[in-house]
Chain A
């Protein structure tokens, strides 16, 4: 296998890793107004992703960085073609990040509520925008012969973008609900289970449809088989959540994403940006990639660096592995059970 193919796979793995990890913190954030009825519930939900979201977000930065590093021709074609959608995603990510940190810096309930809304809105914008961008990059952008977008600012945005937005949005909310079912206890856990049970089959449809479209356009029997695995994983997820096996349900949903992503990237290979104007203008890995020397350097760096990253990220998940409850019992706090004052962070 040549290095360009290795890096195409690496980029696919990084984007999939990003969706898999940040997907649940996007989802938890999006579900704040749905599952978080009381301030204490919302606080619990945010605590479940608090130590993890920042590390998860680096997957996005690394995925985008890997596209730039390995396939600058892809980067330089893709981003300007979707200029405004990408700017919107960036704005969503900016306000979301600061909202996580700043939300608890005041005791004013209005402050708290406003930043909670910002977290939800920013996360939704980012999830939908990334979905739209990834779907158009696998199903086509109006790219001319010189790799430059033909048409106006929104000529790259069509039903495919909407499908991608729905796919990543749908995946993320159910992923977030399953994560909450796995990580929390009490009302939030029950509501999250009910939500996942109700919405999992619906939420999987856009992602499966997107994967099916890419498969039908470019796919092989292998990608077809991968698609079937993804579809079956939805059934497993649904059946497992029904019998309260949250861990298995979460894993099933993750398999759904990984299979679908493998279908999509596997079928699209070796095209990185298909042109909707003329297949002759498609950008392929060969045209888009850097030199073999640079790919070799990066392969060494990634070969050494990535296992280390995975190890310490896994350790983070291990450190924060226990279920969270809205009202933990502190044996040494004399009044752990008292009602929290309005706006106060509950004990």
Chain B
């Protein structure tokens, strides 16, 4: 593999890994802030326990998200220096503003929230969590605006001398319709991740407690039950919004990046009305579009693309021809900028198997998690607790499916952009368009050995950290509420005080008994 391929693998691995943490951070952050608000408003101990338990899970995950996010920022300079040079006028400022206006907010106020228990007034303490949550949401907006600019560059003109984009309208970059659609889609998808976790863990605990015939601790029971109910409703509501915003995004993509959507559908020939593919087989992996056969629903794709049942949707083969005409059939014969690809024919069609299946995986896993949420709500109606084995598998699916859906969604949107790193904006006349091939974005001076070293080192460290994180999360989730809520028992009354369960736990809810020093550290550090 050459530097380009290794660098792409590295980017893919680090981004997908980082994006396992991000949706949980955003979604769970919002839900924990709501729980904390409910506790401040009602003073009921179950809300405190929920805040502490889910807050702890949130924090364990948050820190890994921060740590892996660092790599993302530096990677643009390290492995993609020509990209950084080319887009610096737009892209860099979005990253810098994210750090300045959002990430500072998030990190500083999260520290205040973690260490502020019992130290700052209750309502101010609650506000620190909201500030952190707002920070992470604004942060997501800047990053998605940066990514959306690559998908659909707006607010720029090409510099006459260098051909590089020069920013002329920052507001247009911030209000890019691609960004608004992607942001809303991502935030509701993040809520699905958090909702799924609440459903899965809550259901597992409810069922386990019932099967074990454990003496009912009413507060604990209320916590798990409420987690399932809240998680279920959040998941279902978010699923509806995910579908609506996804449809909105897809319609934009048909205008802005038609090849991405036609590849997602394995629509080889232009059709009117166009049919939607349910399942495809034979040589999808060969990347020869005409070898693909699929089961289709007539007219549905026209509906998805243009809101009617009959309009024409261009196929991959035609688009490939159109693109070759406008953007060139071969890469310019300039090895210093295009490496081994200089003078080679350009394949404008993304990897069919990846776009086709990641698109289906995203939608399919979304449907699975909505289904599990509906099952969880049904099976826990009016105080019921499911005891069937399905409850366990259902809870596992609830936790896993939205993560897979999120990862698949990003793989689809990024792989579907190839071979461009900055996709030309079709709303602009061709001679004023700006585009940049992935092949010319990579750092020219960096050796394959260097990128291999970083790819292997990062992947190994990420792998080890993933094992530890999953181990820690499993440990705390199995241990249940009190491990996340040491304040619920009087401090220092026994060697195992933080593992104790029991109704005595609400003492901590009223505050005052807490000792700010170590019980906070048990909670957070």
A residues at B contact (CB < 8 Å): 43, 46-47, 50-52, 54-55, 57-58, 61-62, 64-66, 68-73, 75-81, 83-84, 86-87, 90-91, 93-95, 97-98, 100-105, 146, 148-149, 152-153, 290-291, 293-294, 297-298, 301-302, 305-306, 309, 312-313, 316, 319-320, 324, 328, 330, 332-336, 338, 341, 344-347
| Chain A residues with CB below 8 A from B85, complex form | 72-73, 76
Roughly how many angstroms separate A338 CA and B494 CA in the complex, as a whole number? 11
Contact A76 B170 (CB under 8 A): no
- The answer on a CB contact under 8 Å between B491 and A347 is yes
Q: Which residue of B lies closest to A72 (CB)?
A: B88
Of the candidates B78, B472, B490, the one having the most CB atoms from chain A within 10 angstroms of its own CB is B78
- List, in ascending order, chain B residues with CB within 8 A of A347's CB: 491-492, 515, 517-518
* Contact present for B78 and A61 (CB under 8 Å): no
Query: What DSSP secondary structure best describes chain B's contact surface?
Result: helix
Contact B92 A97 (CB under 8 A): no
Assuming the contacts A61-B99, A69-B88, A336-B492, asked whether A297 and B461 have C-beta atoms less than 8 A apart, the reply is no
Give Cα A50 to B70, complex, Å: 19
**Would you list which residues of chain B between 35 and 67 have a CB under 8 Å from chain A?**
59-60, 62-64, 66-67
- Contact in complex: B93, A69 (CB < 8 Å): yes
Whether the pair B445, A81 counts as a contact (CB closer than 8 A) is yes
Chain B residues whose C-beta falls within 8 Å of the C-beta of A64 in the assembled complex: 73-74, 77
A residues near B103, Cβ cutoff 8 Å: 58, 61-62
B230 within 8 A of A: no
Q: Which residues of B contact A94 (CB under 8 A)?
A: 67-68, 70-71, 461, 465
Residues of the B chain whose Cβ atoms lie less than 8 Å from the Cβ of A52: 111
Verify B93–A333 contact, CB threshold 8 A.
no
Known: A98-B67, A291-B89, A345-B521. Contact between A149 and B100, CB under 8 A?
no
A293 to B87, CA, bound (A): 14
Chain A contacts of B111 at CB under 8 A?
50-52, 54-55, 316
State the interface size on chain B (CB cutoff 8 A): 85
Report whether A290 and B89 are in contact in the complex, using a CB–CB cutoff of 8 Å. Answer: yes
Digit string of B102-137 for contact with A (CB within 8 Å is 1, else 0)? Answer: 011101111110111001100000000000000000
User: Is the CB–CB distance between A91 and B457 below 8 Å?
Assistant: yes
Are B63 and A98 in touch, CB under 8 angstroms?
Answer: yes
B461 touches A298 (CB 8 A): no
The answer to whether B525 touches A101 (Cβ under 8 A) is yes
> Cβ of A334 and Cβ of B74 under 8 Å apart?
no
In the complex, whether B524 has a CB less than 8 A from a CB of chain A is yes
Shortest Cβ distance from residue A191 to the other chain B in the assembled complex, whole angstroms:
21
Check if A80 sits within 8 Å of B445, measured CB to CB.
yes
Chain B nearest CB: distance from A319 CB in Å?
A: 6
Are the CB atoms of B454 and A313 closer together than 8 Å?
no
Pair B110/A50 contact, Cβ less than 8 Å: no
| Minimum C-beta distance from A107 to chain B (A) | 9
Measured CB to CB, the nearest residue on chain A to B159 is A291
> Is B30 positioned at the interface, with any CB of A under 8 Å from its CB?
no
Q: How far is the CA of A323 from the CA of B237 in the complex (A)?
A: 48
Q: State whether the Cβ of B335 lies closer than 8 Å to any Cβ in chain A.
A: no
Which residues does chain A contribute within 8 Å of B340, judged by CB atoms?
none
Q: B364 an interface residue at 8 Å Cβ cutoff?
A: no
A115 — nearest CB in chain B belongs to which residue? B468
Can you give 29 contacting A-B residue pairs, CB < 8 Å? Answer: A43-B521, A47-B521, A51-B114, A57-B107, A58-B99, A58-B108, A64-B73, A65-B98, A68-B92, A72-B89, A76-B85, A80-B78, A83-B454, A84-B454, A97-B66, A101-B524, A102-B472, A103-B525, A104-B524, A291-B89, A294-B89, A294-B93, A297-B93, A320-B115, A332-B515, A335-B492, A336-B515, A341-B495, A346-B518
Q: Is the CB of A68 within 8 A of B60?
A: no
A104 interface neighbour in B495, B512, B522, Cβ under 8 Å: B522
Per the bound structure, the CA–CA distance linking A84 and B454 in Å amounts to: 7
B345 interface contact, C-beta 8 A: no
From 437 to 464 in chain B, residues with beta carbon under 8 angstroms from any chain A beta carbon are 443-447, 449-451, 453-454, 457-458, 461
Structural contact, B515 and A79, CB atoms closer than 8 A: no
Tell me whether B518 and A345 are in contact (CB under 8 A).
yes
Inter-subunit contact B88/A65 (CB<8 Å): no
Assess the A293–B96 pair: CB atoms within 8 A: no
Residues of A within 8 A of B92 (CB): 65, 68-70, 72, 75, 290
CA distance A327 to B457 in the complex (A): 41
Q: Are B518 and A153 in contact (CB under 8 A)?
A: no
Supposing A75-B92, A149-B445, A313-B104 touch, asked if A84 and B492 sit within 8 A by C-beta, the answer is no
Q: Which residues of A contact B450 (CB under 8 A)?
A: 83-84, 153
Complex Cα–Cα for A47 and B516 (A): 11
Are A65's CB and B96's CB within 8 A? Answer: yes
**How distant is the Cα of A76 from the Cα of B89 in the complex, in angstroms?**
13
CB of B167 within 8 Å of the partner chain? yes
Is the CB–CB distance between B63 and A153 below 8 Å? no
Structural contact, A330 and B60, CB atoms closer than 8 A? no
The yes or no answer to B101 lying at the interface (CB within 8 A) is: yes
B89, B100, B101, B446, most chain A CB atoms within 10 A: B100
Instruction: Give every chain B residue within 8 A of A57 (Cβ-Cβ).
Output: 66, 107
Given contacts A79-B78, A91-B461, A101-B525, contact A68 B63 (CB under 8 A): no
Give bound CA distance, A50 to B64, whole Å.
16
A101 to B64, CA, bound (A): 9
User: Distance (Å) between the CB of B453 and the closest chain A CB?
Assistant: 6
A10 smallest CB distance to B (angstroms): 10
Partner among B67, B101, B475 whose Cβ is within 8 Å of the Cβ of A97 = B67
**Interface pair B97/A301, CB less than 8 Å apart:** yes
A153 to B452, CA, bound (A): 12
- 1/0 per residue, CB under 8 A from A, across B488-501: the answer is 00111101000000
